[in-house]
Structure 1
Amino acid sequence: MHLHHDPSAPPAEETDFGTFLKSDIRIGTVVEALEFPEARKPAYILHIDFGPAIGTRKSSAQITVNYTREDLVGRQVAAVVNFPPRQIGPIKSEVLTIGFADEAGEVVLFAPDRPVPNGSRLF
């Protein structure tokens, strides 16, 4: 999967609503943000609480340029929760935390503009 960070890139190929719904994107609250020195690119290991149905899941996130670990704890973030886990060095990244590229191509996290219950699904 190639991700386009270039804002001038054309739209992705056309899809339909059913395909969109296959991606389960939920809100969770970061409960812990750890250094990840073994990562090839600078990253944190996030522990994110997605509420009682999903629980707390881990995510490796390359967000060290725009966020400190202290910035992240207590912050709500959006993540795809139904991709298979990916082994990244010594950890299994269980969800894909999502964001957008800033002018420098660095990640800015995607989150609701007011608090919502952990586990809320994007629709």
Structure 2
Amino acid sequence: MHLLHDPEAPAAELIDFDTFLKVDIRIGTVVSAEPFAKARKPSHILMIDFGPAIGTKKSSAQIAVNYAPDDLVGRQVAAVVNFPPRQIGPVMSEVLTLGFADDAGEVTLFAPDKAVPNGSRLF
């Protein structure tokens, strides 16, 4: 299992609060999802609405094992919105959709347990 997915891995090195605040994690609603057939691992291409300040952004997410595209539309997800865009095969991924590994090492999405306004920031 990859170290990032290993529940037995030790905590990462300590950081200060100002460093944490540099990572901008927001909530958005998936407005479209489609299979990403050219990805190396089972993935979907998501369009996520983060509200008027951030807008709608694209994400390539390795979540196809646990989620069908139709199950994602309308669902709120958390993502890092201030990483530089990253080329994933033919797709430019603009945000990093967040999740945790399940028992099989597959991604389970990270989201609030109640609806919150799109663009809400994690604190």
TM-score, normalised to structure 2, is 0.96
RMSD over aligned Cα, in angstroms?
1.0
Q: Percent identity of the aligned residues?
A: 78
Q: 2:15 matched to which residue of 1?
A: 15
Q: 2:61 matched to which residue of 1?
A: 61
CA contact (8 A) 2:79 2:98 kept: yes
Separation in structure 2 between the aligned mates of residue 87 and residue 113 of structure 1, nearest angstrom: 31
Q: 1:30 matched to which residue of 2?
A: 30
Q: 1:42 matched to which residue of 2?
A: 42
Secondary structure in structure 2 of the residue aligned to 1:11: coil
Query: Aligned letter for 1:63?
Result: I
Q: Which consecutive aligned stretches of 4+ in structure 1 deviate over 4 angstroms post-superposition?
A: none
Q: 2:84 matched to which residue of 1?
A: 84
Separation in structure 2 between the aligned mates of residue 51 and residue 67 of structure 1, nearest angstrom: 23
Separation in structure 2 between the aligned mates of residue 60 and residue 50 of structure 1, nearest angstrom: 16
| Number of residue equivalences | 122
Q: 1:109 matched to which residue of 2?
A: 109
Instruction: Please report how far the alpha carbon of residue 23 of structure 1 lies from its aligned counterpart in structure 2 after TM superposition.
Output: 0.3
Separation in structure 2 between the aligned mates of residue 3 and residue 60 of structure 1, nearest angstrom: 21
Gaps of 5+ in 2: none
Instruction: Please report how far the alpha carbon of residue 87 of structure 1 lies from its aligned counterpart in structure 2 after TM superposition.
Output: 0.6
Separation in structure 2 between the aligned mates of residue 78 and residue 3 of structure 1, nearest angstrom: 21
Instruction: Please report how far the alpha carbon of residue 54 of structure 1 lies from its aligned counterpart in structure 2 after TM superposition.
Output: 0.6
Separation in structure 1 between the aligned mates of residue 8 and residue 91 of structure 2, nearest angstrom: 34
Separation in structure 2 between the aligned mates of residue 34 and residue 69 of structure 1, nearest angstrom: 6
TM-score, normalised to structure 1, is 0.96
Secondary structure in structure 1 of the residue aligned to 2:5: coil
Separation in structure 2 between the aligned mates of residue 39 and residue 91 of structure 1, nearest angstrom: 9
Instruction: Please report how far the alpha carbon of residue 38 of structure 1 lies from its aligned counterpart in structure 2 after TM superposition.
Output: 1.1
Gaps of 5+ in 1: none
Query: Aligned letter for 1:64?
Result: A
Secondary structure in structure 2 of the residue aligned to 1:82: coil
Separation in structure 1 between the aligned mates of residue 4 and residue 105 of structure 2, nearest angstrom: 10
Instruction: Please report how far the alpha carbon of residue 3 of structure 1 lies from its aligned counterpart in structure 2 after TM superposition.
Output: 5.6
Separation in structure 1 between the aligned mates of residue 100 and residue 42 of structure 2, nearest angstrom: 17
